[in-house]
Structure formats: structure tokens, C-alpha cells
Amino acid sequence: MGEAMARNLLKSGKFNRVVVYNRTAGKCIPLVAEGAVAAESPADAIQQCDVVFGMLADPEAAVKVVFQKDGVLEAITAGKAYVDMSTVDPATCQRIAEAVTSKGGRFLEAPVGGSKQPAIDGQLLILAAGDESLFQECKTAFDIMGKRSFYLGQVGAGARMKLIINMIMGSMMGAFSEGMALADKAGLKQEELLEVLSLGVTGNGLISIKGPSILKHSYPPAFPLKHQQKDMRLALALGDEVSQPLPVAAAANEAYKAAKAMGHADDDMAAIYEAIKK
């Protein structure tokens, strides 16, 4: 997703320079060939840019990029800004925000709604919180990367909103997979179930996009299952924090864990079906 987002910034022609960094250096090669400048480290990216956007896989990676040797904190100063667009828990957001602002930098969290294709198409939903003036300054970039951006208030609000959205999506995928499995075992054609669903109130993008993968038992990753399970886990922890029971999400999380154990961690989240259909 980060590669697609950077590519859209580069293609827009609205910025004098687009600097890119990846923990796996080879992943920057296509963007450099298209005109981007490769940074040697997160600190180098901060030194070269006024605003740096981070897009990392999980809380551990998000923290490491900030606090590691040659990380964001080594170079952040007054006049520099860091915008973390990763999906992490509110506590991680707060930790990074406090570290960045303690060095005089500015911070915004901006997790996104959407996966690989919306990132390619510049159709992400951006859920920002933190420095409101920085949000306004980033609007040009956000408008290139996404179809709409929201300012939600203090640091942590973006993370909470994103976790809730992904929890709902993950729970829906679990229920949909159960329905597809039940239809198959009840002697019905799954193709016909998909058509009926598409014509009623249950018709939605999740079913229309993920249904064909289930029919083919083929799960090229748009949103890897391991990341969906991570978000379910973080959402359940948020529920514990605020004393909100989440029995449906908890059950779905167990199915994602089972699918991971079956070897589907790097497949698309729709591979939860393989754990449910047994």
C-alpha cells in the first residue's frame, strides 16, 4: 500500500521531491526508476523532507522505525513533521506522538480505510487525529492518496476508528464465510447465493470482491489475513479497555487464528473461509 501511495504522490507532480524509504531497500527500486529519491534510513528521510508519511505493517514495525538507530527520532526537530498512517493501537500512537513532539516535531496519526486496490486508485479513507494544523497542511497529499479525509480529534481517535472499522469488516467476512460454507453443504450453488446477496440489503463491496476468491479457493492478498487478525486482536483489546463485550468479533478472531495456523497468514483475509468450511 505504501508503494502505491508514494507513487500517487509522485505522479501528481505537486511536490518538488518525493523521497522513499523501505526496510527492504529493493522495494524502492521501481519508485526510484519513476523519479523518487531513495533515503538510506528513516532519519535520512526526515532530514530530506518537511513531512514524512509512515506506512508500516503493525505496531512493532511502527515503533521500530521511530525509535531504532537512524530512526525518525534521531532527525526530528522543530519544523519537521511525522504522519503515521499505519494501523496500530491507540497506546502505540500516543507513544510515538509523545516522542516526536518531545523533540519539537509535529505529529499526526492518519490510518487509512481501504486495501491494495484503493491505495493504487487513490481512493483511501484517511482517519486523522492529532495536530490539526498539520492535518490542514497535509490535505493536498491526502486528497491525492484518498477520496476523503477526516479529522477526528486528539491522538488515538484515528486508531480507535480504524480498529472498529476493521473489526466490523473482519466479523462480516466471518459471517459471510459461514454462509458460503453452509450453502455448499446444504446443496445450494454458491454462485447463486452471491447473486441473491448482491440484489438485497446484504449486497456490499466486501461480498462482491471476496466472493469470487472463495469460489476459486484462490486468495491473492489485497489485505493479508495476518494483518486482519492483528486488527481483530487490537480491537478486542480496545473492547477490554473500555469494558465493551465483543462476542461476535471474538469468535471471528478465532477463525482467523485457525486460518493462520493452516498456512494462510500471507493470503488474503478471505482465506478465513478455508478454516470455516471444514
How long, in residues, is the chain?
Answer: 278
**162 carries an active-site annotation:** yes
Tell me if 239 sits within 8 A of 249, measured CB to CB: yes
Of 11, 69, 147, 162, which is the active-site residue?
A: 162
Write the single-letter amino acid at 99: A
Q: What are the catalytic residues?
A: 162
